[in-house]
Structure formats: structure tokens, C-alpha cells
Amino acid sequence: MNIDKAHALIRDVPDFPKPGIVFKDIAPLLQDATAWKLVTEAMAEAIAAWRPDVLVGIESRGFLFAAPIAYQLGTGLGLVRKPGKLPFNVLRQEYSLEYGTDAIEMHTDAVRRGQRVVVVDDVLATGGTAAACGDLVAQAGGDVVGYAFMIELGFLNGRAKLPTDAPTFSLFDY
């Protein structure tokens, strides 16, 4: 299997979660062991060049990529979750949505001062969550050295919300 065949496993689901949205469903790709391995290896290769100490995965589908990539690269793994889901002391970052605000949290010890951190998620859409995650890493004293996504929805221009001093990688662009 090549990366194009893995890409072809991502299916469009129209009108999910609401009318007018075309959801990129990665379940078929995850169900194919060869495709999932190929995608995580391709992402790991890009991330390795940034020499991270820790990968920070964003709930929940970001965990599916950050965990195997961290294992492959021999880095630590920090988790970023919705409020109230983490059992220890947390840092919290609110961010703007089109209508209102949301928030994410990370354990205070998920990243240590001076560590090189890569933020990992499945999809870069509007960029708000990933940018907020970068802010959490900065609060903890870490240095974001890159952002990595399996999918980028370029038409939403989420990359523009991310800092320009850290590179952004996406495997598949829509």
C-alpha cells in the first residue's frame, strides 16, 4: 500500500455533525492496519526532523496519532483534554469559536520547562484548538517546535492562527 491508497480510505460524510458540514471520517483508515501504520510512519518522519522531547496530543483523535508516533520516536506524550477530564492539577486555556468560547486543559507536569514540543492532532480545521494547545505548552514553559496533522482543511485557513515561528506539517490537504 502507498500513501495515496491510505488517503483514499478517508471518507466524506455529508451533513455531519450538522447540515452543510462534510466530515472527514478516518475510521476506515484506522481499521486498515497497513494504512494506519503508513500514516503514522509518514508523520513520524516529518516530526523527527524537529527533534522533539514530547508530543502533545489533542483529545481525542489526536491521541490516535500522537501515542504511536511518540512511541516510535522515543519521546514523552502529554495529553490535552476538554475541561474536567484530567485528574491532576491542570493548566487551562480558553479560545474563541465562531460563536462563543471553548477551553482545553493539560496537566501542569505534562511538559517541563525548556522541552521541545510538537502538537499533534488528526485535523487542522480553523486552528483555534491547536493554537490554544500551543499556548498551554508555553504556559508550562515548553517550546513548541512544530505542529503536525494528518489532515488539513486548507479552505478554513487554520494555519493562519498558528505561530509562524514553528513549522506546520499536514500529510493530506483538502
Question: Does residue 112 carry a catalytic annotation?
Answer: no
- Indicate left, alpha or beta for 31 from its phi (over 0: left) and psi (-120 to 50: alpha): alpha
Residue among 61, 81, 116, 159 flagged as catalytic:
61
Instruction: List the beta strands (DSSP E) in the chain.
Output: 11-14, 22-25, 54-58, 76-81, 90-97, 100-107, 116-124, 143-152, 168-173
Which three cell numbers mark 72? 516510535
For 118, residues 6+ apart whose C-beta sits below 8 A from its C-beta are 47, 50, 52, 54, 55, 56, 144, 145, 146, 147, 148
CB 132, CB 94: distance < 8 Å = yes
Residue among 81, 92, 98, 159 flagged as catalytic:
98
CB 122, CB 150: distance < 8 Å = yes
Which three cell numbers mark 156? 478554513
- Helix orientation angle between 33-48 and 63-73, rounded to the nearest 10 degrees: 60
Question: Does residue 59 carry a catalytic annotation?
Answer: no
Active site residues: 61, 98
